[in-house]
Amino acid sequence: MLTLPSSVKIFIYSQPTDMRCGYNKLSMFAESFMQKDPLSGHLFVFFNKFGDKCKILFWDRTGFVTWYKKLEEGTFERLPNKDNTTSIEVDISKLTWVLEGIDLFKARRRKRYKRKTDL
């Protein structure tokens, strides 16, 4: 399981991405299409059109870092985009499930306390 500070958000780009793209192009997608600041320290997740490759871009205070995963067999689950927006915000557990191949539609999360953010 990945662990991140609670301040880090995760955004999945809803369009297929060419995995030959480097830091500059991925950060341009984050800024131009996802309307997010690529230097924010948040994670930006990109999948290819076949769903067997994934790149995660993040800024670590001194430069861009990418994490790249290519599946030898199978595909990543595509998350539904209900709003037809260019990005989907997920939490770390959903990203971990997607990367590990867990079917999100069959998995159920038990009820837990969630603090209200508008105090």
- Furthest CA-CA distance within the chain: 47
The pLDDT tens digits for 83-104 are 778 889 998 888 988 898 887 7
Distance CA 96, CA 74 (A): 16
Q: Is the pTM of this model over 0.85?
A: no
The pLDDT tens digits for 49-84 are 999 999 999 998 899 999 999 999 999 988 877 777
**How many Cβ atoms are within 10 Å of 45's Cβ, its own excluded?**
23
Distance CA 89, CA 45 (A): 10
Beta strands in the chain (DSSP E): 10-13, 43-47, 53-59, 64-70, 87-90
Residue 107's Cβ-side half-sphere holds a number of Cα atoms within 13 Å equal to 12
What's residue 85's pLDDT?
84
